[in-house]
Structure 1
Amino acid sequence: MLLGVIADDFTGASDIANTLAKGLPGQGGMRTAQYLGVPDEPSSEQIEAGVISLKSRSIPANEAVAVSLKALAWLQAQGCRQFVFKYCSTFDSTPAGNIGPVAEALAQALGVKGVVACPAFPTVGRTVYQGHLFVHDRLLSESGLQHHPLNPMTDPDIRRWLRRQTTGEVGQVAWPQVHAGASVLRAALDAAVARDETLVIVDALSDDDLEIIGRACRDAPLITGGSGIALALPANFRDQGLMSPTPSAFSGIDGPEAILAGSCSGATRQQIEWHATSHPVLNVDVEDVLDGTVTPDTLATFIQAREGQAPLVYSSAPPEQVARLQEKHGRERLAAALDALFAQTARTLVASGTKRLVVAGGETSGAVVSALGLGALEIGPEIDPGVPVLVCDGKHPLGLALKSGNFGAPDFFTKALAKLGGSA
């Protein structure tokens, strides 16, 4: 294994695995596998990039650090030459959150300074300029993410955010130095090391900027950021003659299908609305879940009775409604109840023969794949930017699409089921 990735949630892991499997246009990517949690056994010798999916974004910081260091140790044992800490391109983290502590702990474990921190993903509208994170033409704090139910993003200044979370110095490299090329950026990062800055926010406005960052980090032991930060990393290894030919194309998995959506993001709500115009959907009322009126069997029965019709069950609501429910029942209680509902529903469906499963929402995806207890997942073709097909091989093959709440076009759900089945 050449490259090891530690991702703080399951959809984010799929996102960066997709980036690594694709590589730069016309150059091909790496043989990539996604692992659900830290594996107990060594990886296949054919795997060039291993992505460990953790569910560490919203847990206590000390626990996130511990499991991330465990992941680092496993990846080191596989022979990785470079490591990436992948977090969300909207930097989901409270002031007491996990991105800074985990990044700092990994840097200390590897004995490095001047570590790039760049959550930019221009393909989906996330850019960093003067150390501030934008979502399309809005500052992060004005983009709707300030209403995130678990990690409300109220400050777009990533330098200031990281300084609240870390003990070391946090630096910044502005866009003109990035735009000047990899050698100029490398010199700026070396200067950050001389200033004893552990983490360095690096601006990026386009994929070209991300490619420059990747080239400048060719020999960096550790990089942190969104999935876009990995754009040029396969090319670095290819240029050194370390990579094998790309794997064969995905041929598809046929069989019963299901869509589970637990995200309250604007994009997911729009996708649900679009899907409901021509497919059966079931809205899950949170109050009914809490009093036991709606159970996993309720959801599974609805889906199984509508096989072949792309059935969708969801729990999603506007920010103001979510806030009212959280105030009434408690944020943690609500999240735990919905995670358990969708996790058990997925387990019931897969046990009874579901072959194609689409899940929306990072926390929901994490709960689902944890409940299914899957091993390594092969990375297939891209569905929409940042969301690949995932394949679990074995006696009972399963095709998965795990979508971060804000990702995907309005027709994502039907498109994902078609891709899982092998259609273009």
Structure 2
Amino acid sequence: MRKALAAVAGLAVAGLVLAGCSGSGDNGGAKGSDDDSKVEVFTWWAAGSEKAGLDALVKVFNEQHPDTEFINAAVAGGAGSNAKNALASRLKANNPPDSFQAHAGAELTDYIEADKLEDLSSFYEDNGLNDVFPETLLDRLTVDGKIYSVPSNIHRANVVWVNTSLLSDAGIDPKSAPADLDAWMADMDKLKAAGVQTPLSVATDWTQVQLFENVLLSVLGAEDYQGLWDGSTKFDSDEVTKAIDAYTKLLSYANTDGTGQDWPVATDMVIDGTAAYNVMGDWALAEFDAKGKTYGTDYTTWPTPGTEGMFDFLADSFTLTVGAPHAGGAKNWLKTISSAEGQKAFNLAKGSIPARTDADPADYPEYQQGAIKSFSEDTVVSSLAHGAAVKVSWLNDITSAIGQFVSTQDGDTLQDALAQAQSKALGK
């Protein structure tokens, strides 16, 4: 629990530091140099499939811009919380990296309000990105008519990763997704009866929030789920009560030692047969590949039961900071990550799908081909756990409430905390 609370506190500190910067005016509106001799890029991609994706991008970058030196400023740990804290400190000290990683969407709000990001609308125009990024994505990137980041990919957060052998041994068809959460939990009862002690694996706090957002999406549907973030759906509604009840029951099938473990631990439980299911974004694909597992044979995937026809969206994106020492280098970096070559190299390594609509699905393996199709056809909603739906301060409050609930299993207290967080964030 200590580690989970530390991550929450870290995110809160980052949000507070940014809020504290917003009125200082120390470097608001300042322009960085057009120097393109180097670029310092700040990420939390320091290990595993994330580092492999970054390395693939850097290789393309070095080919496209051989005269610009790439400086890797990755900060490891905490599912990005350590990096966000370090970034906030640098921004407060007016010592920005040239470009930094962030989740596209509402997570960028604090940086925009603190006047730490350059408007990249003209970059989009100059490089034809408005023509190759889908409208669904452009809408989520636009704030008051301006765009402040360039996505390197698109991830899906409502994915269940399934150990096919465990299900088959329990008499369950692994390729047939349950119709809803009740049917899914009935299958978990069958697994327990067959001797599987942990049907569902979870890990640290944000994975528990991601599981909860999947339950909300399943119970409420796309429209009412999205309504949570503008207040048209209330967190004190009967439907949210049903979602909390379902979430409570789901956790009864999960490992009790998940808090404090990073996401690969939970994914590896499905890979090694300790658990049957894990709800995880499609960055998990690279983990299965790294362990030599074959899609459709050793494991399979389907949308979280009840979310068929919905795509729970998040995207990694990169910025140009106000006062960037090497703004020219940063623009070169943004050109690479938005290029067809850069996106192909990165997404093949990371398991996500390209943001560009001109990508050829045939270049990607089976899972990613399905995800490309789903993103183009399904109802797209924004992920809560990964910064697309709400700003950092609201996510902190929800994460704290979920962390407490995982310990206490007190649904009434959780719902009260969620309602208060919504009222605080929306001023209602």
- Into which bin does the TM-score normalised by the smaller protein fall? under 0.3
- If the length of structure 1 is used for normalisation, what is the TM-score? 0.27
